[in-house]
Amino acid sequence: MRTWRWVIALLIVLNALSGAVPAIDAAAFKLGHHPASLDLHVLPLLQSLTWPVVVLWLASMGLFLVSAGLLVAIRGGALAVYALAFAGDLSVFLMMQGRAYDAAFNRGERTTSCIVFVLLVVMGGAIWYLDRQPSRAGAR
């Protein structure tokens, strides 16, 4: 079971990093920095984001990282922290919906976002399952 913990933790970390990069870009934009790599099609979306949304986005990515660490360390609380991270991420996603979001992303990209949220629910279920397995010293 330890191997599955590492696999799920790696997927959580990849999700957190893929979400943190645009969240950091959004924060930089709010601070007045306009990276050269910024895609102009996302500019209206970045302009529409408020500081509370950006902070919630960054916090949820940080919580995903914490939950991955707790999962690998076989410490209690991994599922609770993951659930908080998921709730924050989903809230940000729902707050972004609207004309600016639709203009920034095509239908395929929006569908991919929805698929990622379904996969996050599956990973949450996997964490729940792993947390209920008896731990054995030296188990792999």
In tens, the pLDDT along 59-68 reads: 999 999 999 9
Confidence at 1, pLDDT banded by 50, 70, 90: confident
Residues of the chain with pLDDT > 70: what percent? 93
For the chain, what is the largest distance between any 2 Cα atoms, rounded to a whole number of angstroms?
53
Confidence at 136, pLDDT banded by 50, 70, 90: low
What's the count of helices (H) and strands (E) in the chain, helices before strands? 6, 0
Distance (Å, whole) CA 21 – CA 39: 13
* pLDDT tens for each residue of 10-58: 999 999 999 999 899 889 888 988 766 667 778 888 888 999 999 999 9
Residue 4 has pLDDT above 60, yes or no: yes
Confidence at 138, pLDDT banded by 50, 70, 90: very low
Distance (Å, whole) CA 120 – CA 70: 17
Angle (CA) 15 16 18, round 5°? 65
Distance (Å, whole) CA 51 – CA 54: 5
